[in-house]
Amino acid sequence: MSLDKVEQRMQELRATIVRHDELYHRKAKPEIEDGDYDALKRALSDLEGEYPLFALTDSPTQRVGDDRSDGFQSYVHRERMMSVDNTYSDDEMREFHVRMVRELERDEFALVVEPKIDGLAVSVTYEGGKLVRAVTRGNGVEGDEITANARTIATLPQTLTGTAEAPLPDVIEVRGEIYLTNEEFQRINAEREEDGLDLYKNPRNLAAGTIKQLDAAVVAQRKLEIVLYGRGYTEPVDAWPETQQQFHAWVKAWGLPTVEHQWVAHSAEDVLSAIRELDAVRGGFVYATDGAVVKLDSIALQRTLGATSKAPRWAMAYKFEAERAETQLKAISIQVGRTGVLTPVAELEPVQLAGTTVSRATLHNQSELARKDIRVGDFVAVEKAGEIIPAVIAVNLEKRPPSCQPYVFSETCPVCATPAVQLEGEVAVRCPNRECPVQVRRRVQHFASRACLDIEGLGEAMVDQLVEQGWVKRLPDLYHLDRQNLLTLGKSVGKSTDKLLAAIEASKQAELWRFIHGLGITHVGTAAAKDLARVMGSLQALAEAPMEAYLRDKESVISGIGKTMAEAITGFFAEAYNREIVADLAAAGVEPEAPNAGGGGTLFAGQTFVLTGTLPTLTRNEAAEMIEAAGGKVSGSVSKKTSYVVAGSEAGSKLAKADKLGVTVIDESTLREMLDG
Ligand code: IVH
């Protein structure tokens, strides 16, 4: 290669890497696989080694990716947050060991091998044992303050207590990884698919997208988790233990979640066999593990080695190759979701992958399909990481059969043949026919499911039959089923038919939140449905509530319901079809029980409460229910009309506003005393 060409190639690599850094760190929507990204970085770093003349000091190989995004306060880490060098090769791991032997001038030292958790890096600060701050890595020097969102992580303690063996420093920054379990990932993606939203490719991207939500209410609906594996700044300085092993023991003693398993190694071969053991057991971990991080155990020796501009010299990550297989794409079928979203699915020649036979894989959506130019007949690479649904990653163009034609996305619904539409601002293409049998089936199945009306005997198979017979086209039809018709269904004779009808009849009296959840409004899960039920009191009131019922001066009025949800709810009821459903449910005799029905007290009549911060024993919902049972109202924002602000630990702006307006602030125990009369 001529020097000009080299320089040009390096320039291209830098631009490509910068683009993918942005997609991964800031947008949480990478377009290429981790392995391919690492290969680009490796190519650039090799060229920089060979042609230092063209190596730039601000090359992406010399810094950590930047995750900072709009809408967050910046915070300068008191101690920098580094990245770790990585490798996919045994030999490079051996070289890492040789280098340490040389630099430490000894060959006796312990190393710790830990799982490398695939989430996003965070630094959590405790002062005087209290959680005061959580910050993303950002560019390593300064990151985004995500404290409010981090507080929604149930396993992250608000307070820590030291023990005799594990004394707690006055100030500590602990570093770790925020992640989502595979189970939660699948639940959220399934919901997003129904709602016609983009799917996240893996739990890491979803966790990253979630922590950067400006609406903590949305964050709280997704169960983020955290694991802590490293240390940052402390006061007094040097208040940390002497080894990484001890670090894990201390952090655990303080009540923080830490890695599930770690290995101690004394040689390069020990390290490699620990990595293989980790690979064998990582499938059972709750978090996705994309490799191992090998660290020098002694913190004094870590100091001796120090760090480069972006990574410590005492640690090295070993990454596992994602499991891939090549197979032929036999057909592309289109699935129809609850809200009519059309999702392309790859029908594959069955292939063995990560211990299972894969014959179907998601193709995500039309634009993704077009971008990758995937065609029926192509040989494609499928990849599966952990428990995640397999996905088609790439096409092997060398094997493309000459007769292969570009795939033309269907312009009509495969089920009811209605012309498909693409709504503005959405990636998804939808079938707009509300009475499309698949949509009806999914909607009714959701309505009858455990998490909603929980109607016994109305399982998925039963719903299928009712829809197939044409007896149920809309939710209210469930309440007008004909007994004689039902008796003609082969399997359900006599008794079970009566039982089913009785269960449907009984569901008319179910709690209001079950109906709200059952309507299937985007973003409205069980917790939000309960919040809405408390405040609205009836389906009718919910259907008629204007935007101002949710947002006033950009602040949420109902505790737990933020902007995203407010828009989804008002958007849902802006459609006449949905308003009619509510009216027809009422006409059919649906009388959902309002939360206070019956026991409505008068103790707090005419008084408005605002809840803020974390109460010592009650959840927000529990406290709100107690106040409302006593006849009080609970609001999401403080005004002059607020009677009391109930503040827990870490109360934020609402407390400040209460002080400013002179509103009385009480704590949980005072609230309890007031309730006791
Ligand atoms: S130690 C200064 N340990 O992987 C050393 N990192 O590729 C700090 N990661 O930026 C990192 N699991 O976000 C460490 N057990 C573990 C880890 C881990 C995941 C992440 C972390 C880091 C990246 C390095």
The verdict on the CB of residue 136 being under 6 Å from ligand 1 is no
Mutate to test the pocket of ligand 1, among 177, 258, 261 (most ligand atoms within 8 A of CB): 177
Inform me whether the pLDDT recorded for 321 exceeds 80: yes
DSSP class of 397 = G
Q: What pLDDT does residue 525 have? A: 81
Distance CA 123, CA 143 (A): 9
Residues labelled as active-site residues:
116
Closest CA to 380 of 369, 391, 368, 392: 392
Closest CA to 324 of 399, 401, 391: 391
> Where is pLDDT greater, at 674 or 621?
674
Measure the N-to-C terminal CA separation of the chain; round to a whole number of Å: 86
The verdict on the CB of residue 116 being under 6 Å from ligand 1 is yes
The verdict on the CB of residue 317 being under 6 Å from ligand 1 is yes
Q: What pLDDT does residue 596 have? A: 55
395, 378 in Cβ contact below 8 A? Answer: yes
Mutate to test the pocket of ligand 1, among 293, 295, 308 (most ligand atoms within 8 A of CB): 293
What's the whole-number mean pLDDT along residues 213-218? 77
Report the separation in Å between the CA atom of 83 and the middle of ligand 1, taken as the mean of its atom positions: 7
Which atom of ligand 1 lies at the shortest distance from residue 121's CA? 13
Q: What pLDDT does residue 200 have? A: 80
Distance CA 181, CA 225 (A): 8
Mutate to test the pocket of ligand 1, among 25, 81, 117 (most ligand atoms within 8 A of CB): 117
Inform me whether the pLDDT recorded for 345 exceeds 80: yes
Inform me whether the pLDDT recorded for 670 exceeds 60: yes
Report the separation in Å between the CA atom of 147 and the middle of ligand 1, taken as the mean of its atom positions: 20
Report the separation in Å between the CA atom of 220 and the middle of ligand 1, taken as the mean of its atom positions: 25
The verdict on the CB of residue 644 being under 6 Å from ligand 1 is no
The verdict on the CB of residue 149 being under 6 Å from ligand 1 is no
Inform me whether the pLDDT recorded for 514 exceeds 80: yes
Q: What pLDDT does residue 322 have? A: 81
Report the separation in Å between the CA atom of 176 and the middle of ligand 1, taken as the mean of its atom positions: 7
Q: What pLDDT does residue 388 have? A: 63
Q: What pLDDT does residue 217 have? A: 75
What's the whole-number mean pLDDT along residues 96-116? 96
Inform me whether the pLDDT recorded for 30 exceeds 70: yes
> Where is pLDDT greater, at 142 or 649?
142
Inform me whether the pLDDT recorded for 220 exceeds 90: no
The verdict on the CB of residue 637 being under 6 Å from ligand 1 is no
Instruction: Give residue 553's region: left, alpha or beta (phi > 0; psi -120 to 50).
Output: left
Confidence of residue 595 (pLDDT cuts 50, 70, 90): low
Confidence of residue 493 (pLDDT cuts 50, 70, 90): low
Residue 21 CA to its chain's centroid (Å): 20
Mutate to test the pocket of ligand 1, among 38, 64, 114, 116 (most ligand atoms within 8 A of CB): 116
672, 622 in Cβ contact below 8 A? Answer: no
Report the separation in Å between the CA atom of 156 and the middle of ligand 1, taken as the mean of its atom positions: 18
Q: What pLDDT does residue 524 have? A: 87
Say which residue the tokens 């009385």 belong to: 664
Residue type at 426 in one-letter notation: E
Inform me whether the pLDDT recorded for 414 exceeds 70: yes
Inform me whether the pLDDT recorded for 274 exceeds 70: yes
Closest CA to 212 of 196, 200, 194: 200
40, 13 in Cβ contact below 8 A? Answer: yes
Inform me whether the pLDDT recorded for 328 exceeds 50: yes
Q: Which residue has a Cα nearest atom 16 of ligand 1?
A: 116
Report the separation in Å between the CA atom of 370 and the middle of ligand 1, taken as the mean of its atom positions: 35
Distance CA 162, CA 169 (A): 8
Q: What pLDDT does residue 393 have? A: 86
Confidence of residue 365 (pLDDT cuts 50, 70, 90): confident
Ramachandran angles phi, psi of 610, nearest 5° = -125, 130
Q: Which residue has a Cα nearest atom 7 of ligand 1?
A: 84
Closest CA to 559 of 644, 621, 641: 621
Inform me whether the pLDDT recorded for 355 exceeds 80: no
Inform me whether the pLDDT recorded for 598 exceeds 70: no
Among 53-67, 144-158, 383-397, which is the least confidently predicted range?
383-397
Task: Say what the pTM is.
Answer: 0.69
Instruction: List Cβ neighbours of 672 (8 Å cut-off, separation of 6 or more).
Output: none
Inform me whether the pLDDT recorded for 511 exceeds 90: yes
The verdict on the CB of residue 230 being under 6 Å from ligand 1 is yes
The verdict on the CB of residue 176 being under 6 Å from ligand 1 is no
Ramachandran angles phi, psi of 597, nearest 5° = -50, 140
The first and second tokens of residue 551, run together, are 């947002």
Inform me whether the pLDDT recorded for 424 exceeds 80: no
H/E run at residue 605 = none
Q: Which residue has a Cα nearest atom 1 of ligand 1?
A: 230
Instruction: List Cβ neighbours of 257 (8 Å cut-off, separation of 6 or more).
Output: 155, 156, 225, 226, 227, 228
Distance CA 314, CA 265 (A): 14
Report the separation in Å between the CA atom of 54 and the middle of ligand 1, taken as the mean of its atom positions: 30
Confidence of residue 491 (pLDDT cuts 50, 70, 90): low
Confidence of residue 599 (pLDDT cuts 50, 70, 90): very low
Ramachandran angles phi, psi of 672, nearest 5° = -60, -40
DSSP class of 201 = S
Q: What pLDDT does residue 160 have? A: 95
- What mean pLDDT, rounded, does the chain reach? 89
Rg, C-alpha atoms of the chain: 28
Report the separation in Å between the CA atom of 207 and the middle of ligand 1, taken as the mean of its atom positions: 16
| H-state helical runs in 365-436 | 366-372
As a whole-number percent, the residues of the chain with pLDDT over 70 amount to 97
449, 338 in Cβ contact below 8 A? Answer: no
Closest CA to 637 of 576, 528, 543, 560: 560
Report the separation in Å between the CA atom of 227 and the middle of ligand 1, taken as the mean of its atom positions: 11
At 584 the three-state DSSP class reads helix
Angle at 237 between CA 233 and CA 238, to 5 degrees: 100
Q: Which residue has a Cα nearest atom 22 of ligand 1?
A: 83
The verdict on the CB of residue 315 being under 6 Å from ligand 1 is yes
Inform me whether the pLDDT recorded for 334 exceeds 50: yes
Which atom of ligand 1 lies at the shortest distance from residue 312's CA? 2
The verdict on the CB of residue 582 being under 6 Å from ligand 1 is no
Say which residue the tokens 């995640």 belong to: 388
Confidence of residue 597 (pLDDT cuts 50, 70, 90): very low
651, 616 in Cβ contact below 8 A? Answer: no
The verdict on the CB of residue 312 being under 6 Å from ligand 1 is yes
Domains of the chain (ranges; CATH) run: 3-61 (1.10.287.610), 74-319 (3.30.470.30), 324-399 (2.40.50.140), 437-509 (1.10.150.20), 512-587 (1.10.150.20), 608-675 (3.40.50.10190)
E strands, 269-366, are 289-296, 315-319, 323-336, 341-353, 356-362
